[in-house]
Amino acid sequence: QSVLTQPPSVSGAPGQRVTISCTGSSSNIGADSDVHWYQHLPGTAPKLLIYGDNNRPSGVPDRFSGSKSGTSASLAITGLQAEDEADYYCQSYDSSLNVFWVFGGGTKLTVL
């Protein structure tokens, strides 16, 4: 059971917009800890997509955006492309457990 909760799967057609939620608690996202997002294709290196809630590293398309409110955060992907099909993970810091950095369970994005 992950500290941060994500839907197991989402899907969308090419060109559409999808969002992936990440729900935490008052000891992580609700404590104003930053939320970060990663894209991962099994067998490859995970890639940083969003850091500090809503910042994109150089090279990440502006089709990817992040937001945070209360104890939840979201990743939005617009103009879906086939290459976006991957697993997506949120990550934050938890102050209540001796775990420090925590990940969501991951969301599999399928491009129909």
Partner 1 sequence: EVQLLESGGGLVQPGESLRLSCVASGYTFNRHGMTWVRQAPGKGLEWVSTISDTGSTFYADSVKGRFTISRDNSKNTLYLQMDSLRAGDTAEYHCAKGRGGFSDGYFDLWGRGTLVTVSS
Interface contacts to partner 1, rule CB under 8 A? 2, 31-34, 36, 38, 40, 43-48, 51-52, 57, 89, 91, 93, 95, 98-106
Question: Which residues pair with residue 73 across a beta bridge?
Answer: 22, 68
The Cα–Cα gap between 64 and 24 comes to 21
Q: Determine the Cα–Cα distance for residues 109 and 98; give it in Å rounded to an integer.
A: 31
Tell me the closest approach of the beta carbon of residue 36 to partner 1, in angstroms: 4
Residue with tokens 């938890």: 94
Name the minimum Å distance from CB 14 to partner 1.
26
Task: Name which of 16 and 55 has its Cβ closer to partner 1.
Answer: 55
DSSP H stretches of helix in 1-112? none
Q: In terms of CB distance, is 14 or 57 closer to partner 1?
A: 57
